[in-house]
A and B are shown apart, each in its own frame.
Chain A
Amino acid sequence: DVKVTQSSRYLVKRTGEKVFLECVQDMDHENMFWYRQDPGLGLRLIYFSYDVKMKEKGDIPEGYSVSREKKERFSLILESASTNQTSMYLCASIGYIHNSPLHFGNGTRLTVT
């Protein structure tokens, strides 16, 4: 069974801190995604990556960057955390096998104070 693991379930950081959110998948998936989930706003795509060292901006990339040095790992970086980045962050992955769904991690609830 596919497993997408996010390193932290809960994080509390201070304004201005640099924050790293880590995501690892164990199914050799080419595509990985970072979303944020906020009440009433659904899921919004921050960044995605379709291959190692490749990345594409999603709908709300401002204030974020990503890193994909290895196929199984996709990191989301908040260069200088702000209170409006308090949110639930979801990582997902998918391969190229037809009809396979997007697999999600359990999420990281980040609070920026």
Chain B
Amino acid sequence: AQSVSQHNHHVILSEAASLELGCNYSYGGTVNLFWYVQYPGQHLQLLLKYFSGDPLVKGIKGFEAEFIKSKFSFNLRKPSVQWSDTAEYFCAVSADFYNAGNNRKLIWGLGTSLAVNP
């Protein structure tokens, strides 16, 4: 069965520190990869996604993620975090989402709670 593992459940950083959140998945075929973010009191929103092409994906607010197929990983990075990045971050994987027939389901990681101290 497909699964997604996020290594860090809680991360605390100071402003300007660098961030890397780990995400590994288990699935051998073509995958679509996503990072979603949920700011306090707000709805989940897409941070970035990978479908094909350049494995280094840039998203909103200075975030980026690198798809390493050999490691089944899609780690999220930001060189310098801000207090406003305090949020919960979710990694999600789909098996070729747009060609999956009626099986348009995402498999979600458990989330990483990031707190950035000013």
Residues of A with Cβ closer than 8 Å to B? Answer: 4, 31, 33, 40-45, 48, 50, 54, 56, 58, 90, 92, 94, 96, 98-99, 101-102, 104-107
Contacts and interface: CB of A to CB of B under 8 A. Distances in A.
Interface in B80-114: 90, 98, 102, 104-106, 108-111
Nearest to A54: B102
A44 B51 CA distance: 23
A94 B43 contact: no
Contacts of A102: 34, 36, 46, 106
Q: How large is the interface on B (under 10, 10 to 19, 20 to 34, 35 or more residues)?
A: 20 to 34
Contacts of B36: 102
Contacts of B98: 96, 98-99
B111 A42 contact: yes
Given A56-B102, A94-B104, A42 B90 contact: yes
B43 A40 contact: no
Contacts of B106: 102
Contacts of B12: none
B14 interface: no
The residue among A4, A50, A92, A101 with the most chain B CB atoms within 10 A of its own CB is A101
A21 to B, nearest CB: 15
Interface string B50-83: 0100000000000000000000000000000000
A41 B109 CA distance: 9
